[in-house]
Structure formats: C-alpha cells, structure tokens
Structure 1
C-alpha cells in the first residue's frame, strides 16, 4: 500500500485533513492532474491533437475493460450514469406491458428513467430489510413480464453490498426474460468486483476510481450486444455516419459502443486512464486489504458508542461505506468539519467512506470526535 512518502507525493491535498467522503467525491492522485495537463497540451495542437485524444480513449478502454473483466470491444463511455440509464431505456424501449424492478437503495439515476418514460413500464420496488437487500424478497416481484432488474453492487445510501450470487440466481430462475443492470460506481476501484453474469455494467468516474466528472464506463458483454444497442441519434456510435446513405438510415454500432453517441469527453478519459492505471498499480485487492479493517474499526466503535449503522458491515462481503442516522447529525457534522474531518451529511444521515489513501490516523481523528458527540443527550 501507500507509504507515507507515496501518500504525501501523490495526494498532497490530503495534508492536514481526514478525508472520508470518497463516496461523494474522490481526491485524485497527482498523475490525474498531469493527465489533464497532457490533454491541454494536445488540445493546443488543434486538429493534430486528435490523434493523441483518440489514443487516450483506446488506452482508457483497455484498462477499463481489464478492471471490469471484459474485452475492449465490450466497453465504451458516455458522460455520466444518468445519460447511461437514459440510453439503456432507449435500447430496451419498454412499455406498459413490461415490468422493471429497482431497489430502494439505488441512486435516482438508476430508477427514474423508467418512471419518466413516455409510456412507462410498471416499476416494482425491491425494498431493503434492516438496510440490506434479501434475494428471497425479490422473488415475488419477478415474472415473465420482468424485462430489467436494476441494482447497485454497493449502495450509495448506506454501503450495503449486494450478495451477488443469490440475487443473480433468483433473476435468472424467476425472470427468464429480464436483463440485469448493475451500477458499480460505489465499488469500482475499492472492492474486487463479483458481478459475473451482469448484462450491463455502469460506473461513474469521479468517485472510487479517482477520476473526474464527465465520464461514465459502460460494459456490455458481447452476448447481449444486439439487445443492448441504443436507439439514440448522434454520430460517433454509427457505422455509417459519413457514408453516402447516412441520410436514408443510421446504422449503429452494437452493444457498448452504441452508448458513445457523440464526441468523447476527452479530458475525463485522459484522467480516467491515469487514475485506473494508478489503482491497478496498487492493486484493488491490496486496497481492500488495507481499507476494510479501517471500516470494520469504525463499525465496531459506532456500536460501542450506542450508534447502529444503517447497514451491518460484513467482513465477508465488505464495502467502503458506513452510514448512520442520529438526532444530532447536524452538530456532529459541524464539529467534524471544524476539525478538518470530511464526511457526508444529508437529511439526518452521516456517511463515512474509506479508501486506500485513508490511514489509521484518519479513523482515530474521526472516532475522537464521534465518541462524545454520538451519545444522545
């Protein structure tokens, strides 16, 4: 893992703070800034810079595919997860006779496109129990009309990590016509992925991957490419964008490539290429081995303080996030901020996120503040 010297060199912004909010925004390593500067230098070359731009896109596709366990042909990019889900909706073109299952632990981007459709499918809600999704509670929601089941591998809301195997088996057995869409935004770069058999994988780029805004990774295994080809207009995703017949019909590339509708956001992909290679150099398994015990320590301390996390942290199925609710969250957050300890506070909930760049000192600083404040007056 990172030595103190590595951390000081690669993450100078972490000096003097305990940053525990990667689930909202990451602190990128210095190499990402260098990559952004490289984009700028290439951009200053005008049209001649495009060779470098597209080379970076392909390099980013290669490392992204490796991170997802897919081939390069099965990976592409768009601008954000919201765009990805709307393009997914266009690919499926569902109607009132179809059903979609979403969970109450998912981010709105993964749930709302089905509610906003011109002719919306029936949306069924898989509710968490004690902060966790239980595949046994999913089964009654599945049937032959189910066309999509949308989940997050790790919940942004409380850090719950889906038990993938029983979930996957339930969908394949009880919803034979359904596609599985999994959002790995809160997992990629932090935990070793275990979502084999997903039909589409989606991830934003500005959180645990240590990249910046303006990017989203799309992974579509080749077996489902035909079914998961968008119906969006554009040009970059077309086979015949500049052919003589382009005004008679638009011939899309299949699968993941169809999600790259327009000109790539080059600067985001320069950044992502650098950040993913940085993470790969450390090793995701090494990051998990370093950071998981820190999360476990916070979980145990909260319970000792009489605070029950919103989801039980499971060492056998870990994530980087813990969250809790408390009637003094506003006060707790204010004191943490005063002491340069950064977590997320929203609507009576505090969320703590621990990545590979965090240290035991960060946890000590957090718990020093939480111990007296967390107890109910």
Structure 2
C-alpha cells in the first residue's frame, strides 16, 4: 500500500472535499510532469519512443480500469464532451429518432443531444426522483428510442444507477446505452462488459486524479465503424507513421477518434495517477471511500438543521454528498466554508462534499465540527 500522506502533500489546514469537480494530483503525477518538462527543456523530443511507451501503458491501465476487452476499444480524448460529441454526431440519426436522458444530467450530457434537434432527433427527459429510477428510464424507451444516455452517478445528487440492469434492459429493447462515467471511474469499480454499454467516457481530472485536458472514450468494437468521423488528421490513420503513403483509411482501433498529436504531457500525469489507483486496488479504493462517506453522512445527520439531498443507501451512491443547513443560504455557506479552507462546491439545492479514498478522516471531523459551530451561530 503506498504512503498516501506522502502521495497527497496538501497544504496544512486545507480540507479538500471537491473531487467531484477537480482533484489534486498525487505526488507521483506532479513528479512525472516535472521530469517530462525538464527532459523537454534539456533534450527536446530525443526520447520520443520512450514517451510512446508511457502512452501505451496508459491505454493498458484504462483498459483494466474499464474492464474493456482490448486497448483497441479505448481512445484518448480531450474530455467527456468530446467523446459524447463523437457519439451524438457519429450515429446515423433519422428524423423521429429519440434519445432518453434523465432530468439530473450535467449540461454536457444534455446539450449534445439537444443539439441534434435540426436532424429531427427528440430528447426525452425522464425523472429519477422515484423509487425505481432504472425502471423509469427503461419505461421511457419506446419504439423510436435509439439511445439511452445516462451518467452512472449524478453530479448534484450523487445518485448511482444500476448499470447492469440498464444494460440488460437496453439490450432487450434494442437501445444503445451510453454512459457518462466521470463521477464513478476512479471512485468505484466500473465494468463496460458487465453493463453491456455501447459507449462510455470520462475525464481524468476528477476521481482518476489526473489533469484536465485528457480523458478516455470506450467504443464497443462492433460500433466503431458505425460512427461517422468528423475529425481527420495524421494520427487517426491505420498507417499513421507512413507519411509518404497516399492511400489511407481510418485506424481500425478506437485511435480513429484521435485525429492529431497526443496530449503527451497529460498522458505522463494520468498514467502515474492510474498507477496509484491500481496499486491501491479499486475494491480498496471503493471501500475506503465508503468509510469516508458514512462518516460524513452520520456526522451531518447529527447536526440539527442539516438536510441531506443525496441517497443514504450505500448502494445508491459513490463519492458525492449534497446537503443544506437551516439558516444558511447556499452561497453564504459556501463562502464561509471556503474562507475556512473547506474546498467544496455549490450543486443542486445545497453544498456538495466529495472526499476520496485517501481523505484523512480528521479532515472530515474538522469540517463537521465547523458546520456544527456555524449552525449554532
């Protein structure tokens, strides 16, 4: 087990509960970037073949993190929105087709589908508020539904969905399942084969502990060539290194979605961060994160005037807990917490806390004590 206090040398007094937004890098990621920068400054790209080996290791780690059948199913992309756009503007839509989404999606997983309106595609928004959100989503899928687009964990409420059930239901209905996994990947185990999703995507800068500007896109192998490409360049070709070749075709692998030069700086950091998650093990990551979530939940329930807006059932959550405090307007409470070095976010009806597996339990206790003081005035 790595020394987590050494891996996350956060500033003294900082209470970081904002991994659902942007995570701090582990030390090994910052050191990988430092070494890369120094190498660039002194040697330029002399050792580019070694850089490609790091990128190759990153693809392998992404494959294992998703339990994808092959690295050929993984594309390295700029962000979740880019991957969603590859799907939305790659499928051969027909006027009258429908996309089912939830009423709690982050804008990235709503706007991209609404942008298809000029093509005659209808977006069906479904409430997740009932006792059976999966049932509601599947019931909303009719004969014209082509795709169900859903976040595995909702960004504001923290509601986690049963992807295996959704995958089985979509398969039965002949509907493609597209999963925005940004609030689960790196926090809990994730398995594209078990949930039988057609597409999955996530940024690296949240629970995967990496930098902004680099994410992953899983595309099931039988669907790769069904997505029309809209970006072309040297890197997405089957024979990418043969610059004199005049006949060309897109790569048979998911590299077909990577049109130009890779984000090698981001790859150095993300590969190091995923190495840490692998060393710890995703089962242990999930178990330790749940311990912190339970500590937060029980502590907030003890504070008079605190209202929780996230699921209390551990099977229904990942690393997000949103709450409000009687007598405090959301913006004012957020400002006071930030002034006390509690790094969090305003989401939904309240304040969103999102610890990670390495978060010191003392940080959570200090934050709960501060909230109790604020409640008492």
Correspondence 1:161-310 to 2 at 5 A: 161-174=160-173, 176=174, 178-195=175-192, 196=194, 197-228=196-227, 230-239=229-238, 242=243, 244-246=245-247, 251-254=249-252, 256-304=254-302, 305-310=304-309
2:17 aligned to which of 17, 20, 25: 20
Residues 1:43 and 2:37 are matched in the alignment: no
In structure 2, the CA distance between the partners of 1:346 and 1:187, relative to structure 1 (3 Å rule), is closer
Which residue does 1:337 correspond to in 2?
Answer: 338
Which residue does 2:76 correspond to in 1?
Answer: 77
In structure 2, the CA distance between the partners of 1:211 and 1:222, relative to structure 1 (3 Å rule), is same
Residue pair 1:164, 1:194 contacting (<8 A) in 2 also: no
Residue pair 2:198, 2:223 contacting (<8 A) in 1 also: yes
In structure 2, the CA distance between the partners of 1:350 and 1:368, relative to structure 1 (3 Å rule), is same
Which residue does 1:108 correspond to in 2?
Answer: 107
CA displacement at 1:322 relative to structure 2: 0.5
CA displacement at 1:239 relative to structure 2: 2.2
What TM-score do the two structures reach when normalised by structure 2? 0.89
In structure 2, the CA distance between the partners of 1:245 and 1:311, relative to structure 1 (3 Å rule), is same
CA displacement at 1:353 relative to structure 2: 0.2
| SS, match of residue 43 in structure 1 | helix
Q: How far apart in 1 are the matches of 2:316 and 2:214?
A: 28
Residue pair 2:75, 2:255 contacting (<8 A) in 1 also: yes
In structure 2, the CA distance between the partners of 1:262 and 1:133, relative to structure 1 (3 Å rule), is farther
RMSD: 2.3
What TM-score do the two structures reach when normalised by structure 1? 0.89
Q: How far apart in 1 are the matches of 2:50 and 2:93?
A: 39
Structure 2 unmatched runs, 5+: none
Residues 1:11 and 2:15 are matched in the alignment: no
For these two proteins, the number of residue pairs brought into alignment is 367
Q: Deviations over 1:87-126 (max 9, x none)?
A: 2223214243211111122221122122223525111112
Q: How far apart in 1 are the matches of 2:102 and 2:233?
A: 31
Residue pair 2:58, 2:270 contacting (<8 A) in 1 also: yes
Q: How far apart in 1 are the matches of 2:157 and 2:56?
A: 35
| SS, match of residue 316 in structure 1 | helix
Residue pair 1:39, 1:266 contacting (<8 A) in 2 also: no
Residue pair 1:21, 1:343 contacting (<8 A) in 2 also: yes
Q: Deviations over 1:17-59 (max 9, x none)?
A: 1110111110111110111123224434334242223222111
Moved more, 48-57 or 361-370: 48-57
Q: How far apart in 2 are the matches of 1:58 and 1:223?
A: 23
Which residue does 2:317 correspond to in 1?
Answer: 318
CA displacement at 1:347 relative to structure 2: 6.7
Which residue does 2:129 correspond to in 1?
Answer: 129
In structure 2, the CA distance between the partners of 1:17 and 1:283, relative to structure 1 (3 Å rule), is same
Q: Deviations over 1:60-84 (max 9, x none)?
A: 1011111111121211201111111
| SS, match of residue 156 in structure 1 | coil
Moved more, 254-263 or 18-27: 254-263
